[in-house]
Amino acid sequence: MKRKFIWVAVLAAFALIAAACGGDDEVDVSDFRVAIVAPSASNDLAFTQSIVDAVDALGIEPAVTDGTFVVEDAAAAIRGYAEEGYDLVLAHGSQYGGSLSEIAAEFPEVSFAWGTSAETFGLDNVYSYEAASDEGGYVMGVMAAGLSSTGNIGVVGPVETGDAKLYVDGFIAGAASAGATATAVYTGSFSDVALASETAQSFASAGADVLTGTAQMVVGAVGVANDEGILWFGTQANQTELAPNIVVASQVYHWEVILEDIIEQVQDGQLGGEIYKITLDNEGLVIEFNEDFDLPDEVRQAGEDAIEGIKDGSISTG
């Protein structure tokens, strides 16, 4: 009888541990309402798509107001979602900071998260998040150097700020670490597809054989790279489907890694006050290779080594 009791107790303990572990792994998101306000289209294969995909990955169907390049429009949408009582309002654009700080102060019972930034304005209901996009940029730069035969590598950037600047700087540092020089051109616009396309054309005429770029306007540049047979490295979302023949790899943002934690905290009553960052180490940043691209083993190995070096701290991207 005593032995039988011990077995039952052991089984019960296992059951409790299993239940507890299950609770840690999955956040119950039924009835949890998330709204997203973002500058470009939800399917831009770049910045906005990365956050929409992340919320989708958590099994939540978000309310989305996209295309709000105009900050006043975004502010109206953020306020609207706060008034409607959404559990978490994501202001996905560093340009929204000024408006968000005012709106969040008016709705202390609503949780807000915004990025990319490391600023919570000292408010208890604001989380901020950012991406260490320089890490993936560095890895891409290393591989770009390995693939370039002309030593002429181009970077199409939007505006020299925030996440874009981080990626560009990381890419240039990675290429330099492998003995190549990458040149960055900021077009001055996040949305000018024609100008990004023409920038890529200018790089092509200057003899570039590897290109990369960041922000939603790069779809035009990818098209030029495809026409000219120039290799391309993507970031923010997997851009392989844009040009399967020339996209080597993409740094993909998996915001769900930190969003899951944020949602759990909101459910526990903590509405903000913390700063999150996705990195290669926490797998919020993932280098997705185009498996159909014939990438030389030594180049891929150089990329994998760079990833491990960044993770273990032996490589600095700055």
Partner 1 sequence: MSDLFTQSAIVAVVAGGIRLAVPLLVASLGETYGQRSGVLNLGVDGIMLLGAFGGYYTVLKTGSPWIGLLVGVGIGVIMGLVSALMAVTLKAEQGISGIGVFLFGLGFSDLLFQKWVGTPRPITKFPKLDIPGLSDIPWLGEMFFQHSVVIYLAFAAIPLSMWVINKTTFGMNIRAVGENPEAADSLGVSVSRIRWATVTIGGTLAGIAGAILAIDLGIFQQNITNAQGFIAIALVYFGAWRPLGIMLGSLLYGLVNALVLQMKVLEIIPTDWSDIAAMTPAVITILALVVVATRFSPPSALTKPFTRGA
Q: Which residues bind partner 1 (CB under 8 A)?
A: 40-45, 49, 66-67, 69, 154, 157, 159-160, 183-189, 191-195, 197-199, 201-203, 205-207, 216-217, 219-220, 222-223, 226-227, 241-243
Cβ at position 89, least distance to partner 1 in Å: 21
- Nearest approach, Cβ of 26 to partner 1 (angstroms)? 28
Helix axes 97-106, 71-83, angle to 10 degrees: 20
Q: How far is the CB of 139 from partner 1 (least distance, A)?
A: 21
Query: Among residues 87 and 228, whose Cβ is nearest to partner 1?
Result: 228
Contact 168, 192 (CB under 8 A): no
Q: Is 104 helix (H, G, I), strand (E, B) or coil?
A: helix
Q: Residue 287 Cβ, how far from partner 1 at the closest point, in Å? A: 20
Q: Which is nearer to partner 1, 198 or 274 (CB)?
A: 198
* Min separation Cβ 184 and partner 1, Å: 5
- Please name the residue that has the structure tokens 């999955």: 26
Name residues whose C-beta falls within 8 Å of residue 243's C-beta, 6 or more positions apart in sequence.
222, 223, 225, 226, 232
End-to-end CA gap in the chain: 66
Nearer to partner 1, 200 or 280 (CB): 200
CB closer to partner 1 out of 211 and 263: 211
CA dist., res. 238 & res. 50, Å (int): 9
Tokens of 79: 């306020």
Is the CB of 54 or the CB of 299 nearer to partner 1? Answer: 54
Q: Residue 72: helix, strand or coil by DSSP?
A: helix
